[in-house]
Each structure stands twice: as C-alpha cells, then as structure tokens.
Amino acid sequence: MKVVVITGNLNRPSKTRAVADYVVDRARASGDEAISWDLVQLHPHLGAAIWPANAAEIVKAALDDVATCDVLIVGSPVYKASYTGLLKHLFDLLDMRALKGRYVIPFATGKSPPHGPLVEASMRALFDFFDAQVSDNFIFALDEDFDEAGLSANLRALVDKELDTARRAVSP
C-alpha cells in the first residue's frame, strides 16, 4: 500500500516530523511505499500558491501524493488551539474529491492536554468534508511522549496499532 504522511510542522527538529519519520520507517519495513512531506519542504512555495494549477511543482507533487495514497497520515503541532494554518492551505488546494473513501489517521503534538480534543475536532471536520474514512482514534502526543531517542515506547505502540488497523482497513 502507499502511505503518505503530511505534517504541519514549520520547524526542524520537530516532534511532529519525528512521528512522520517513524511512520515512514515502519511502513517501509513492512514493504509499503511510504513518503513524507512537511511544511519545511514546501516553504515558501505553498504559501505563494493561490490556485493548484499555478502552484510550484513541489506543491503539485505533494498534492499528487495525497491524491494517490491508500493511507494518509496527517499530523500537526498545535498552534493556537488548532492545526497550523499553512497545513489547512495545503488541503484548501486539494481537489474536494481527492480523499473520498481514503483512510486517514490524524494526530497532533502539543503541550496543553485540553487542546488535543480541539485539534481532533477540527481535523475530523476537515476530513469529513473530504468524505474520507477517518480512524476512530486520534493520537495526541505531549512532550513526555518523546525523549532524546525520539518517540516513547508508548507512542510507538500507538502508531504501530494505527498502522495495523489501517492496513486491515485497506487490504482487499
């Protein structure tokens, strides 16, 4: 299956990107095709794109990967109680039929536990708009879910479980 990870981090190193890198490693280890895009790669072209047709090639490539995935994993750092604004802009450029029926795993990283459900609700609203099949679970990772080595064992287990569920959901 083709696994595409989109993350809304604007910095590196990034906890959100660390989750994305872990997903890519796990997916490839299972024989999947896996690719990851973050906003650091797409800056400054994403913000400069008003319409998909005149977007830079790198933005079109990211949109094309989203539109051709079997499983989409979307994560963001929490900024001001939501996912990052530029991440929304990427999905604003996406054709409204592109995610119909596709399996989406949402997640976020943040510092304030009460903000997890807020980001979950806004991400669910976005992917419900696209008529995607959104995982029942939402991963909200706090600072204590990371250490110098990267993701904690607990966070890795949550991600592994989500990937297994997604694989079963999209397998013929």
Contact footprint for ligand FMN (CB under 6 A): 9, 11, 14-17, 77-81, 109-112, 115
Nearer to ligand FMN, 106 or 110 (CB): 110
Q: Which is nearer to ligand FMN, 122 or 133 (CB)?
A: 122
Local structure of residue 130 (DSSP, 8 states): T
Q: Are 139 and 155 in contact (CB under 8 A)?
A: yes
Nearest approach in angstroms of CB 40 to ligand FMN is 10
- Closest distance of CB 63 from ligand FMN, Å: 22
Which position has the token pair 């989406």? 104
Half-sphere exposure of 87 (CA within 13 A, CB side): 27
Half-sphere exposure for 166 (CA within 13 Å, toward CB): 31
Cβ distance to ligand FMN smaller for residue 77 or 106: 77
Q: How far is the CB of 71 from ligand FMN (least distance, A)?
A: 21
- How far is Cα 147 from Cα 64, in angstroms, rounded to an integer? 34
Encoded tokens for 165? 């569920």
Are 21 and 14 in contact by the 8 Å Cβ rule? The answer is no
User: Considering beta carbons, is residue 16 or 130 the nearer one to ligand FMN?
Assistant: 16
Shortest distance, CB of residue 155 to ligand FMN, whole angstroms? 12
